[in-house]
Chains A and B, each alone.
Chain A
Amino acid sequence: MTTYHPNRTRLLNMMTYISMGLVFLSSLMVFAYARPEALQGNAQKIFYIHLGTFFGSFVLFSVAVVGGIQFLRTRNNKWDILGLATIEVGLGFALVNIVTGSIWARPIWNTWWTWDPRLLTVTIMWLTYAAYMMLRSGIEDPERRRRFAAVYSILAFSSVILTVVIIRIRPDTIHPVAGGPSVTSPDASGDFNMSPRVVQTLMFSIFTYIVVSITVAWHRIRLENRAQYIQSRKVELLLNA
């Protein structure tokens, strides 16, 4: 069984409690500190979670690329576990991002979903990482699975880059640019007249969800370590029986 340094476990526990506190604080800020936006009213408040979870998934997918490159270089199993954990948790965060966006769009765009370039690329991003999970489950040889997963996680990052840059190369998007919550003009001209309170709340939410995403991914890594340990113990017992 993998043993962890007690300091690391302490740090993880601390981050878990900090995450809970941050989520509570940021919710307080969203509902009590930031004032409702003039045009969108309370519907705009979901933006704080929407943008926060996107940054969470963005950080995790970026870490997954580092994990992929490091795995190919060192062939250390821990990098593969890092890639698996970050992508799995990142999928969850990206899903929250897409769903909250859809909830926001209902009152503001008067539709749950529209085939806007930004919405299309973020969906493709989600599907690419879902395909990563399919690739993992489709290949039986564990050594080959880790190798291919690392290669695919590097390839898949192109969809993240595309999602980030699409609003710059496709001017016909109606998705607000730079996530400015007060940008409601359909041409998405991206004016930045957010009040200081809104900006502070937004920054705090982004920070919160980045911390939360890293903490959850860390727990997922430990879970995977334990699962692999149990698997190897099973094999051992079967061989000795």
Chain B
Amino acid sequence: MTTPYWRVVAALAWKDLRAEIRGREMVTSMMLFAAISVMIFSFALELDDAAQQESVGGILWVTIAYAGTLGLGRSLAAEKDKGSLDALLAAPVARSALFYGKMIGNLIFTVAVGFLMVFLCTVLFNVNLFVPTLWLVILLGCLGFATTGTLVASMSVHARAREMLLPILLLPVLLPVIISATRASIAIVTELKVEDWLPWIQLLGFVDFVFLLMAFFLFDYIVEE
């Protein structure tokens, strides 16, 4: 009897979540990093009120991308260094299920950082980010990030200078996600009309779908050994 696909995914995501609840090393450092970079942005840019509203979308996504990259490297490196990646690959389950399991784990951590940012930016920049449509953008953007990120990180983890290679490999590929998420966020925060941000959300959803599909086919080739 084989384990159903969704249970493999859920078990793996739950494992990452439980390890995180017990150890709290990844999310803590990601959140601290996010908080520090918001501080640096606010000092470096010295924004006035109007500029704050316009640049908060950019700050949001730059921070999510950098903090997320930090977490991704850790998530895959831990799996490889402890040898648990080999054990997972030896299990008689679909490889893509392993991918989606890891991806959902990373997604949860990135979304956690995203919502911390919503809170921080609202307080520090005096811009109201408690907007449900913006939360949808954050969810979709983090989904695209976690998908591409898990795929690329599972390659870079085998490289010599993996901490350096991951951002170099990941950020350019991630650009379609970052551009559309940033444009949508800025349009929502500056309270533009629906026609101004809806196309960006549609584009973001489309890009997510393409990356999810690509990951489904490509992950098998990355982990085969």
Contacts and interface: CB of A to CB of B under 8 A. Distances in A.
Contacts of A135: 155-156, 159, 165, 169
Interface string B137-181: 000000000001001100110111110010011001101100000
Given A148-B155, A152-B155, A159 B172 contact: yes
A68 to B, nearest CB: 10
Q: Which of B148, B156, B210 has the most CB of A within 10 A?
A: B156
Contacts of B221: 72, 147, 150-151
Contacts of B210: 158
Contact of B158 (A134, A139, A152, A159): A139
B203 interface: yes
B159 A155 contact: no
Given A138-B160, A138-B161, A148-B158, A158 B169 contact: no
A121 B179 CA distance: 10
Contacts of A124: 172, 175
Nearest to B168: A131
Contacts of A51: none
A152 B221 CA distance: 11
A152 B203 contact: no
Interface residues of A, number: 26
Contacts of A169: 199, 203
Contact of A159 (B151, B161, B175): B175
Given A134-B168, A151-B222, A154-B214, A140 B173 contact: no
Contacts of B222: 147-148, 151
Interface of B: 148, 151-152, 155-156, 158-162, 165, 168-169, 172-173, 175-176, 199, 203, 210, 214, 218, 221-222, 224
Given A135-B155, A139-B159, A147-B224, 13 more contacts: A125-B172, A131-B168, A134-B168, A134-B169, A135-B156, A135-B165, A138-B161, A140-B160, A144-B158, A154-B214, A158-B210, A159-B175, A169-B199
21 contacts: A131-B169, A135-B155, A138-B162, A138-B165, A139-B158, A141-B158, A147-B224, A148-B222, A150-B221, A151-B151, A152-B155, A154-B218, A155-B148, A155-B151, A155-B152, A155-B218, A156-B173, A158-B173, A159-B172, A159-B173, A162-B175
